[in-house]
Structure formats: C-alpha cells, structure tokens
Chain A
C-alpha cells in the first residue's frame, strides 16, 4: 500500500541558529526543523550527478526502487543478509562530496555552530562510522519505518 488519508501539515521551526531552536524539536513542540532553500539548484544538480554516477551506488535487496551511496548502521538491523562488515572501512562519501559541493560543509557547519558543544562522530567498537548516506528513490515509496541506534546496538547485529 502506498498512500493514506492526508495528515496535518507538519509543525516546523524554520531557523537553526541556537540551542532553543533544537529544543523545540526535542520537546515535541514542532514536528521538524525545515530550512528552506539551503542549497541552490546548481549545487543540487552537481550532487545528484555525483550520487547517480558513483560506482558505489547500489540498490537494496529489501527496499524495491531505492538506491544508496554510503552506509547506514540502520541497514544492519533491517537487511535480510545483515552483512555490512567492512563497509565502514571504505572511504566516507562525505570526504568525496566535500570536493563536489560546498553545501555539504555548510550543512555540517550550521549544525555545529548552532549546538554549543558541536559534533562528535560516533564510533562503534572502534569502528568510526561514516557521516552521510545518499538515497535515491526512483518512482517508488518508502514504507513506514524507523531508525534507532539504541535498538540497533541491542539487536546483536552481525559484525563479522
């Protein structure tokens, strides 16, 4: 099934400069932070070309019509094969994308600057995880799902 009755428009905060903007989301006063026109059309086009033509862009075996570039810790829990061992030994696509468009560093910069204590890359059992995943959906949809690092860590995922 791919549709349902329309929901209410999301309650949003449209600025991200200080801790108070984040707190509105954490406290449930808004559904999302929505930054409009963060990237320009040219920057978007450059990144789409990078993603669409990258040799590491692959499909999912359990998500019809969805392609990915990069790795997702969540995929370990959801995948039927479950084997992404070694995936994080590859180059983080952030490193490559920084050479494609400055909007990648700008996005990380806005987040870092708006949070008093900045950012820290998560590492799991000595493996430094990557910092981005690109997804491309072509004429498809994504079923209701979640992403939850606590559940994923508790799921005894298969690190081989």
Chain B
C-alpha cells in the first residue's frame, strides 16, 4: 500500500499533549465538534498573515467544550475537530504528537 494511502485509512486522528508549563491564567484548550474540509478551511482562514494558520473565531461560534490542564497533565483529543488555545499570561509549553486510529486490529500510527 502506498504510504499516502495509509494516511487515508486513518479513521480517527488524535492529538496528544503533555503540559510542561502553564500560565497562571488562561491557556485553556477549547474544542468544537466540527470539522472543515480544505475548501471551508481556506474560506474561513484568518486574513491576518501572522494568524493565517487558523480560522476566524467569529465564523465558527462558541466552542463546545473546554479544559484547563495543569502542569504535568496529559490530554488526548480528536484534533481533526477545530480546537484553539485561549490567551494566557505567561508561557505555555507542551510536548505533543499525533496518533492515528485505523481499526481495532492495527497499530496506532504515531507522528508529528
């Protein structure tokens, strides 16, 4: 199987984050139960060049959930769904990677 075809077999992609440093206030992880295809993503992309990796918050409404990890916590979530990090005062450092679920009888894929 071609390796790019392997990627297309990923049924669920997860983000894994180990929180090494958190600001005293802010830094929450926010999630939306919403996925965008490439065209939608580009259409909603933030027009500011230095924020262009993301989409406009005012275009997607309020998040469905949020969580505030503390130092040393691990959080694993579906990162194909939209997610964001709230403004924090201070530094927020994470160690992270991705996991790909391809079915119960296959290894989880890991990459960054």
Contacts and interface: CB of A to CB of B under 8 A. Distances in A.
Contacts of B69: 34
Contact of A11 (B14, B65, B101): B65
B2 to A, nearest CB: 8
Contacts of B91: 48, 136-139
Interface in A17-34: 19, 22, 25-26, 28, 31-34
Given A103-B18, A135-B94, A153-B8, A146 B79 contact: yes
Nearest to B89: A139
A144 B4 contact: no
Interface in B63-90: 63-67, 69-90
Contacts of B38: 151, 154-155
Contacts of A121: 109-111
Interface residues of A, number: 92
Contact of B82 (A22, A136, A138, A145): A145
A34 B54 CA distance: 25
B76 A33 contact: yes
A120 interface: yes
A124 B83 CA distance: 25
Interface of B: 3-4, 6-8, 10-16, 18-21, 23, 26-27, 29-33, 35-38, 41, 46, 49-58, 60, 62-67, 69-101, 104-112
Interface of A: 1-12, 16, 19, 22, 25-26, 28, 31-41, 43-44, 47-48, 51-52, 60-64, 70-73, 78-80, 97, 103-104, 107-108, 111, 115-126, 129-155
18 contacts: A7-B65, A11-B65, A31-B64, A31-B65, A33-B76, A34-B67, A39-B20, A39-B72, A51-B95, A72-B112, A78-B53, A117-B107, A131-B97, A142-B54, A144-B56, A144-B60, A147-B80, A151-B41
